[in-house]
Amino acid sequence: MSLSAATACRVFDMQRFSIHDGPGIRTTVFLEGCPLRCAWCQNPEAFQSGAADELSPEAVIAEVLKDRDFYAVSGGGMTVSGGEPLLHLAPVRALLEEAKRHGIDTCVQTSGAVPEGHLAAVLGLVDLFHFDLKHMSSARHRALTGAGNERILQNAAFLMERGAAVQFRMPLVPGINDDPEHLAELARFVRSIGAKELRVLPYHRLYLDKYTALGLVAPLRGTEAPSAESLQRAAAELGRHDVTAVLEG
């Protein structure tokens, strides 16, 4: 198979039997590259160039299709994650088109830190977006991820306007974005763009070894996972502002 450079997918991991990355049983395809550098990033290999395999969209889908019987019984499919999977448009679009050609359900996990045109270009190919909201203060956002949040918030509103199916998600990181004032502001934003629900992903420490293995220092190595009580508190705070918090286990 000849590999067209334009649509070659740079895949740094594929995970079968993913059950927390969208409906049903899924295969998650991790694409390399990300414009952000979040302090809590659990996939630092996403921006280590050279760690990924270059695969044609057909080759990726051939792997994804191996579990199609399990997607059929569970309402699952393929999730494209990263990194930021929408960073390089041509490969991800080709991948999603190929999935759709085989009738595979698609979910894309995005940071929203991409040009609006990239989102517009895949709208009809994506059954569900997972959209991360990390911090409402642009300055804090810049300090934590390397970029401000203006474009991200605009893109969130854009997807809602266009009627896309979107699940908004926040990584809940103790001491970073779990204070009541921030949660209130986040909830107001979510309501303002017409969404009602926020998935809360509690920070965890399982990824820390990856940094060591890659010879990197994890910025949040001293941060603990949020306690059950603080998760409940966060959920209650979001609830006070009419946003249903769904704790992801």
Partner 1 sequence: MRAFSERFASLARAQSEETRDAGRRAELELIAETCGRVPWLPPRSFVEAVQSLWFTQNAAIISYGAGSGITPGRVDQLLFPYYEADLARGELTREHALRLLEELIIKLNNNVIIWPNLGGVRLNHLGSDVENITLGGLDASGEDATNELSSLFIEAITHTSLATTASFRISKKSPKEFVRKVVAIHRETSSPAFLNDETAIAAMVRDGYSVEAAREYCLVGCVEPSGNGDSYGATGGSKVYFPTALDLVFNRGRTTFFGAQDGVDTGDPSRFESFEALLSAFYRQLESMVGWVAEATDLRDAIWAERFHNPLISSTIDGCIESGRDMTAGGARYNFGSVGGGGLGTAVDSLAAIRAFVFERGQVSMGELCEALSTDFRGREDLRQTLLGGPRFGNDLPEVDALATELVARFCAMVTARKTACGGHYKASLISYGLNVYEGALEPATPDGRHAGEPLSNSMSPSNGAERRGPTAAMNSVARIDHTLIGYGNSLNMRLPLGILKSEKGVESVAHLVRGYFDKGGFHVQFNTVDTATLLAAQQRPQDYGDLIVRVSGYSAYFTRLGRRIQDDIIGRSELAPCR
Q: Which is nearer to partner 1, 19 or 120 (CB)?
A: 19
Is there binding between residue 21 and partner 1 (CB under 8 A)?
yes
* DSSP letter, residue 224: P
Q: Which is nearer to partner 1, 94 or 99 (CB)?
A: 99
Burial, 55: exposed, middle or buried (Cβ in 10 Å; 0-12, 13-18, 19+)? buried
Q: Which is nearer to ligand SF4, 35 or 58 (CB)?
A: 35
DSSP string, 90-114: HHHHHHHHHHHHTT-EEEEEE-S-S
* DSSP letter, residue 39: T
Which listed range, 19-27, 31-39, 70-78, 184-192, lies at the site for ligand SF4 (CB under 6 A)?
31-39
Q: Closest by alpha carbon to 144, among 121, 113, 166?
A: 113
Is there binding between residue 86 and ligand SF4 (CB under 6 A)?
no
Is there binding between residue 181 and partner 1 (CB under 8 A)?
no
Tokens of 208: 């820390």
Is there binding between residue 38 and ligand SF4 (CB under 6 A)?
yes
* DSSP letter, residue 239: H
Q: Which does 37 bind (CB under 5 to 8 A by kind): partner 1, ligand SF4, none?
A: ligand SF4
Q: Residue 7 CB, nearest distance to ligand SF4 (Å)?
A: 21
Q: Residue 145 CB, nearest distance to ligand SF4 (Å)?
A: 6
At residue 168's C-alpha, the angle toward residues 167 and 172, to 5°, is: 130
The residue count for the chain:
249
Which listed range, 31-39, 96-104, 133-141, 201-209, lies at the site for partner 1 (CB under 8 A)?
201-209
Helix ranges (H only) for 199-243 are: 208-214, 228-240
In this chain, which of 21, 45, 67, 84 binds ligand SF4, going by CB under 6 A? 84
Which listed range, 36-44, 98-106, 232-240, 241-249, lies at the site for ligand SF4 (CB under 6 A)?
36-44
Q: Residue 238 CB, nearest distance to ligand SF4 (Å)?
A: 21
State the Cα–Cα distance between residues 56 and 62, nearest whole angstrom. 10
Q: Residue 32 CB, nearest distance to ligand SF4 (Å)?
A: 10
Is there binding between residue 244 and partner 1 (CB under 8 A)?
no
Residue 83 preceded by cis peptide, ω within 30: yes
Size of the site for ligand SF4 (CB under 6 A): 12
State the Cα–Cα distance between residues 11 and 32, nearest whole angstrom. 6
Residues that bind ligand SF4 (CB under 6 A): 34, 36-38, 41, 43, 46, 82-84, 111, 145
